Amino acid sequence: MLPFVNNTGLYTDHYELTMAQGYFLSGRHEKKACFDYFFRKAPFGGSFVVFAGLSSVLQMIENFSYTKNDCNYLESVGFDSRFVEYLQSFSFRGNIHSVKEGELIFPNEPALRVEGSILETQLVETLVLNMLNFESLIATKACRIRQAAGNEVLLEFGLRRAQGLGGINASRAAIIGGFDKTSNVFSARHFGLESSGTMAHSWIQSFSDELEAFRAYANHFPDSCTLLVDTYNTLKSGVPNAITIARELREKGHQLVGIRLDSGDLTYLSKKARAMLDEAGFQEVKIVASNQLDETIIQSLRSEGAPIDVFGVGTSIATGQDDAALDGVYKLSFYDGKPSIKVSENLSKMTLPGIKTIDRFVDGENRFCADGISLGHETGYNEIFHPTEAGKRKNVTSCHKENLIHQVMRDGNCIEKEQAPGDIAAFTKSRLQQLPEEHKRFLNPHVYKVGISKELLETRNDLAKQYLKKDSF
């Protein structure tokens, strides 16, 4: 359950409210509308995004209302009293269709659509973008780090480096993308995640010597003790002292869980530390590594044969380093009974009009081949067209078709059972296995094909012509 979700009506941009007031005062506020959420460019130089944040969006929208105090505030900053009175009893009553949380999505796919009155669908724009863009960015980063880490354990350590309260949802998204546990106790409690951790340098510094610090900790936590070994000298002091504690624990019937390396050359140090632990008979003691890790460094460490069992990752996962944001947008596709388009001289920036759905075409070996976007009523299309490069098409007759969109909110009520992040993560993992390798590599991944149906192509081109007044389609 997401924290802070009551009366979320002010969680929006000022212009959403001014437009809503305009719709209301001109008597257009009940006109039917549909908005699509999609992104244009996958982050981190990748080819896909892990769709996350759906549960947060649904909870926030179910609670999208205004208290008396909120209304007083809006009136005090200049909103019209008739509109403010309307907001007092406002709640979102629309419908939402979406791909599943954890699904792999690709550029320009309308992964979520919001239908309802123009006023209500407009008001929730900021919230939808805020939640989906952030959680999807972090889940995608987590998925890349998981790819690099293979089957080793991934701990999310990012709360202290996160952009303020963003760290709360970042921890959830990290688990969806493939992390095992988080250091973030708040998120663990709220989202049902597993929290865990080691120790900081301050614990060791608070004693007069390292061995004494290790021993005191081991006495408190004899069965869950991971010792930080780099405070003074990793190989001359930290690891030998950890081995002493491992012996003492063993004599008392316990077991040292691990040591943590947090500086220096992690390949060199992990190899040396592993050899020392093994030599002393502690093959079971795990090696945890941290210090500004990301998917590139983890990949490099593993390719060098660093015997690291657990990676602790902070900054890069909680902030989505090196991409500060996912560029997801929310565009009007249907208004007052007609398809609507945002035109642009740049074809790739032109939106897709109408109420649409997404089909995934899967081959005989259960691998993803391509996705097709079509108008909701089309069922039997068997060819998809490149949305911007005339003449490029793909026949999908030989593929099995899987519809990705389903209804998650009806008349303002969430009809989607809340899923545990761990279950969403399992779904993401299975989808990743279906995505061919060439789309997953870090360097210049192959672009995944997303085509549109002939009817959608023609609808888009006809509408665009009306606005651009030219015959170039």
Ligand X SMILES: O=C(O)c1cccnc1
Ligand Y SMILES: Nc1ncnc2c1ncn2[C@@H]1O[C@H](COP(=O)(O)OP(=O)(O)OP(=O)(O)O)[C@@H](O)[C@H]1O
List residues near ligand X by CB under 6 A: 157, 160, 183, 197-198, 290, 312, 314
Nearer to ligand PRP, 290 or 374 (CB): 290
Are the CB atoms for 301 and 261 separated by under 8 Å? Answer: no
Q: Which option in ligand PRP, ligand Y, ligand X, none does residue 59 bind, with CB closer than 5 to 8 A by kind?
A: none
Q: Are strands 400-403 and 356-362 parallel, antiparallel or unpaired?
A: antiparallel
Nearer to ligand Y, 129 or 266 (CB): 266
Minimum gap (Å) between residue 262 Cβ and ligand Y = 8
Nearer to ligand PRP, 118 or 159 (CB): 159
Minimum gap (Å) between residue 230 Cβ and ligand Y = 8
**CA gap 405, 293 in Å, rounded:** 36
Minimum gap (Å) between residue 216 Cβ and ligand PRP = 17
CB atoms within 10 A of CB 404: 19
**CA gap 420, 192 in Å, rounded:** 7
Q: Which option in ligand PRP, ligand Y, ligand X, none does residue 263 bind, with CB closer than 5 to 8 A by kind?
A: ligand Y
Residue nearest to ligand PRP (CB): 314
Nearer to ligand X, 84 or 229 (CB): 229
Nearer to ligand PRP, 84 or 143 (CB): 143
CA pseudo-torsion sign 388, 391, 394, 395: positive
Q: Which option in ligand Y, ligand X, ligand PRP, none does residue 183 bind, with CB closer than 5 to 8 A by kind?
A: ligand X
Nearer to ligand Y, 78 or 150 (CB): 150
CB atoms within 10 A of CB 468: 15
Nearer to ligand PRP, 201 or 393 (CB): 201
Q: Are strands 383-385 and 393-395 parallel, antiparallel or unpaired?
A: antiparallel
Q: Which option in ligand Y, ligand PRP, ligand X, none does residue 300 bind, with CB closer than 5 to 8 A by kind?
A: ligand Y
**CA gap 294, 284 in Å, rounded:** 26
Q: For the range 79-83, what are the long-range contacts, defined as Cβ-Cβ under 8 Å and sequence gap of 24 or more?
A: 79/17, 79/21, 80/21, 80/25, 82/24, 82/25, 83/20, 83/21, 83/24, 83/25
Question: What are the residues binding ligand PRP (CB under 6 A)?
Answer: 157, 160-161, 200-201, 262, 290-293, 313-316
**CA gap 350, 232 in Å, rounded:** 59
Minimum gap (Å) between residue 263 Cβ and ligand Y = 3
Q: Which option in ligand PRP, ligand X, ligand Y, none does residue 265 bind, with CB closer than 5 to 8 A by kind?
A: ligand Y
Minimum gap (Å) between residue 262 Cβ and ligand X = 8
Q: Which residue has the tokens 């911007």?
A: 388
Collapsing DSSP to helix, strand or coil, 335 comes out as strand
Q: Which option in ligand PRP, ligand Y, ligand X, none does residue 313 bind, with CB closer than 5 to 8 A by kind?
A: ligand PRP
Minimum gap (Å) between residue 314 Cβ and ligand Y = 11
Minimum gap (Å) between residue 148 Cβ and ligand PRP = 14
- Cβ burial, residue 152 (10 Å; 0-12/13-18/19+): middle
Q: Which option in ligand PRP, ligand Y, ligand X, none does residue 267 bind, with CB closer than 5 to 8 A by kind?
A: ligand Y
Q: Which residue has the tokens 């973008």?
A: 129
Nearer to ligand Y, 312 or 328 (CB): 312
Q: Give the containing element (helix H, strand E) for 115.
A: strand 112-117
Minimum gap (Å) between residue 311 Cβ and ligand PRP = 9
Are the CB atoms for 2 and 54 separated by under 8 Å? Answer: no
